[in-house]
Amino acid sequence: MGLWGKLRQATNYLRKLRLSLGPDSYFQYKRGRKSDQHAREQAEDSAQRTRAEAERGREKAERERGYDQRYTREREADAAQEQAKRPEEAEPDR
């Protein structure tokens, strides 16, 4: 193979490369599809993280309400016990 054959081979390679990377080529279409798919996956992941965060927030709020209710009942029970003890203590002093 002579110099002209190698030059022709290089020219053909460059022509094919230019056509395969052009704006109307399959490779540009494929690249666009991959970026669209990536964007959809990111949006789905973001939505899933948001839902999980909202669920964790609801669980935390529910847990805090449970704590508040329990502590309120305990305080009321303690207050009732104090009230029950006070009249008993007051009677012996009379």
Q: What is the pLDDT of residues 51-88, one digit of tens each?
A: 999 999 999 999 999 999 999 999 999 998 888 887 66
Q: What residue type is assigned to position 85 of the chain?
A: K
Give mean pLDDT, residues 16-24: 77
E-assigned strand segments in 15-79:
none
pLDDT of residue 50: 97
pLDDT of residue 87: 67
pLDDT of residue 56: 97
Q: What is the Cα–Cα distance from 12 to 15, expressed in whole angstroms?
A: 5
Q: Is the pTM of this model over 0.95?
A: no
| Domain segments of the chain as ranges | 3-93
pLDDT of residue 18: 77
Please count the other Cβ atoms lying within 10 Å of the Cβ belonging to residue 28.
13
